[in-house]
Structure 1
Amino acid sequence: MKIKSKFVWSQLIKYFGQGLLFVVPIFATFAVLYYLFQKLDTLLNLDIPGLGLVIIIGGVTIVGFVGTRLVTTPAFKGIDRLINRAPIVKIIYSSVKDLLEAFVGSKKKFTEPVIIKINNDSDVSQIGFLTQTDLTDLGIKEGFVSVYVPFSYSIMGNVYVVPRVNVKKLDSSPTETMKFVVSGGITNVKEQRKEKEIK
């Protein structure tokens, strides 16, 4: 009985931790943007609705533009190296950086939607994105690839290492595939394509 209650508590703590990882970054982002929006509107003291929001969006875009220009400079590389020396900060920083680059950077990763079979004895398949084709650096033999499988209604997901023969490319675009998986299969790919054609 004690073992069962310990297991339940450990699972609850695990889920709580995962919930924090999901909620805190989103809440923090909206809180910062809301705070900046309020401050800008107060400082400017102009009766123009949404001016603060326009300035924030413009500011973030400018930071992105300047950031892409500084990426190749020694100063940026020096800061990058400095952060990567800090033990715990390095893990968080590099993970977030890699994830952001995978979505919006020059090193986009989620560009190859695929369907995979986890078990050869079953017809059940999962939709995901091919992220790595060479895993020998991890000590995994050739012929295996890594596939990111996002969860429905979440930004989280799992990474599976499967034989290359179990992976088939999909005809849908990365955006259509991500929407389909994250929506729990509710998004209609055909309707999305029709909407694009109308636009």
Structure 2
Amino acid sequence: MMKSIGRVFVTGLLTVIPVLATVFLIVWFVEAAEGLVGAQVRQLIPDIYYVAGMGIAVVCLMIFLVGLLMRAWLFRELTARAERLLLAIPLVRSIYAAVRDLLGLIVERDEEARMQVVAVELPGTGMRLIGFVTRSDFSDLPRGVGHEGEVAVYLPMSYMVGGYTVFVPREAVTTLAWSREEAMKFILIAGIRAMRPAPGGRT
């Protein structure tokens, strides 16, 4: 009886915690944006015209404007220079590059041959690692970085932001019928929860 009650409680706990964590993060972001940006907005306009939520609206507008500016060559060049400065700082480099690469994996919409979800087999072990093909053309890289017939595969780590980029023969990878989003979720939680393959995926 007690075991059954315990299982029911754990099931409820596992259901509620992700929801609460998601709500907490959203509330934290909203409060942080409203507190930081909203305070600046109040200094620019009279309090009588200020409406709760203007801070969030300004943040969303700023993000949208940055997206528009990234279409301009000059802004992209300035952003690239700023990025190089960030990557020159050891601790900042690790955090920034990892978050950038992770988001790039999830949101990038590139040609079909890129960013495919694949399984890389380790020779002689029978083990496979799930990763993402990042490139197969190495002509713009220094000599010896990649060879003909190889592909570069990014292998993310579970439960942390980071990973490795490996160069393997094309025949060593198997394309999986999985979307990048679902594959990344699967990797980050170490496969504890099954993710459905994307419909129409290739094997």
The amino acid that maps onto 1:57 is C
Match of 2:174 in 1: 168
Change (3 A) 1:90 1:125: same
Distance in 2 (CA, whole Å) between partners of 1:78 and 1:132 is 23
Secondary structure of 1:55's counterpart equals helix
Task: Give yes or no for the alignment of 1:50 onto 2:46.
Answer: no
TM-score normalised by L of structure 2: 0.58
Change (3 A) 1:171 1:54: same
Select the structure that is richer in helix: 1
The two structures, once aligned, show a CA RMSD in angstroms of 4.0
* Match among 97, 112, 128 for residue 116 of structure 2: 112
Q: Quick check: 39-48 or 179-188, which moved more?
A: 39-48
Aligned residues of 2:34 and 2:53 also touching (Cα < 8 A):
no
Secondary structure of 1:129's counterpart equals strand
Match of 1:186 in 2: 192
Shift of 1:56: 0.8
Change (3 A) 1:121 1:78: closer
* Match among 108, 125, 128 for residue 128 of structure 2: 125
* Match among 85, 88, 93 for residue 89 of structure 1: 85
Aligned residues of 2:136 and 2:151 also touching (Cα < 8 A):
yes
Aligned residues of 2:157 and 2:163 also touching (Cα < 8 A):
yes
Q: How does 1:1-199 map to 2 (within 5 A)?
A: 33=33, 36-40=36-40, 42-43=42-43, 45=47, 48-68=51-71, 70-71=72-73, 75-76=74-75, 79=78, 83=81, 89=85, 91-92=87-88, 99=101, 104=107, 111-118=115-122, 120-135=123-138, 137-138=141-142, 139=144, 140-190=146-196
Unaligned runs of 5+ in 1: 1-29, 195-199
Q: Say how many residue pairs are matched.
A: 156
Aligned residues of 2:70 and 2:76 also touching (Cα < 8 A):
no
Unaligned runs of 5+ in 2: 1-28
Change (3 A) 1:177 1:104: closer
Aligned residues of 1:148 and 1:157 also touching (Cα < 8 A):
yes
Change (3 A) 1:47 1:176: same
The amino acid that maps onto 1:114 is V
Q: Give the fraction of aligned pairs with identical amino acids, expressed as a percent.
A: 24
Aligned residues of 2:152 and 2:168 also touching (Cα < 8 A):
yes
Aligned residues of 1:103 and 1:110 also touching (Cα < 8 A):
no
Secondary structure of 2:70's counterpart equals helix
TM-score normalised by L of structure 1: 0.59
